[in-house]
Amino acid sequence: MSAVLDTLPAARAPFAWRLRAASLGRALLRLVPPLLGLALLVLVWQIIAEKNPSFPTPAATWNEALRLLADPFYRKGPNDQGIGWNVLASLKRVGIGFGLAAVVGIPLGFLVGRVPFVGAMLRPIVSLLKPVSPLAWLPIGLLVFKAADPAAIWSIFICSIWPMIINTAVGVERVPQDYLNVARVLQLSEWKVLTKILFPAVLPYVLTGVRLSIGTAWLVIVAAEMLTGGVGIGFWVWDEWNNLNVAHILIAIGVIGLVGLVLEQVLVTLARAFTYQED
């Protein structure tokens, strides 16, 4: 009996090694597809650069990115600032416009979903204005506010508000009727129905709308800054195009994509944290 017990640790060792090997294999399988995708992108990029001498190669762009990102917060004048300041200026505009859209859009979504008359009144307006291009709203902002910065924030606001209204309203409409019947039996006030029943049930829908809106806001600000000028990543892209610096434009595209990805992932994590999942 003791001899059998002595062999148990030795028997466990190969099993544990196989588990680690299987776990490592699964991790590698998850890494291979993204790496292949990136390799394919770089290959296509290299082919385009060889066909068009004015297009920088991946290696040249990478070297320029290292030089550019070595000091992203330098300042040599109002029109000569590092890419870090431009990203921060864009994020500030996005934060203001997006925040205003959340303050207005989420309560409006609750109202649309909760009050049938208001929903019937506002749904056609939302359906009509939601497909309008962000750049179509920019001249209205310039006309009303007489300044580029508020006009860009206005464009972000008006284009970010629709996903919040729509998703919040859908969430309110999908709250089980049994919950509302219980609230009616208990004679809960409208405020308690909102805070104790509707808001917890609708929160995942609200966060989905917020996640969609932040992507829209980040898209809008780049386009708006190209037209309004000043400091911002969109203006920086347009300025580099005027200087025919294609490498900097490609670097800016990468930075814009990374910042947008980070913003979306933060909100996805937040949505998962507040979403109830049954075991």
The residues facing 81 across adjacent strands are 75
User: pTM of the prediction?
Assistant: 0.78
The CB density around residue 78, as the number of other CB atoms within 10 Å, is 8
d(CA 110, CA 118): 10
Spans of the chain, pLDDT less than 70: 1-25, 27, 78, 274-279
d(CA 144, CA 222): 21
pLDDT at 132: 87
pLDDT at 8: 47
pLDDT at 104: 94
Burial class (CB in 10 A: 0-12, 13-18, 19+), 118: middle
CATH topology of domain 69-273: MetI-like fold (1.10.3720)
d(CA 52, CA 39): 20
pLDDT at 275: 62
pLDDT at 52: 85
The CB density around residue 58, as the number of other CB atoms within 10 Å, is 15
Question: Cα 27–29–30 angle (5° rounding)?
Answer: 65
pLDDT at 5: 46
For residues 168 and 206, the answer to whether their CB atoms sit within 8 Å is yes
Instruction: With H, G, I as helix, E, B as strand and everything else as coil, classify residue 218.
Output: helix
Domain boundaries, the chain: 2-55, 69-273
For residues 49 and 56, the answer to whether their CB atoms sit within 8 Å is yes
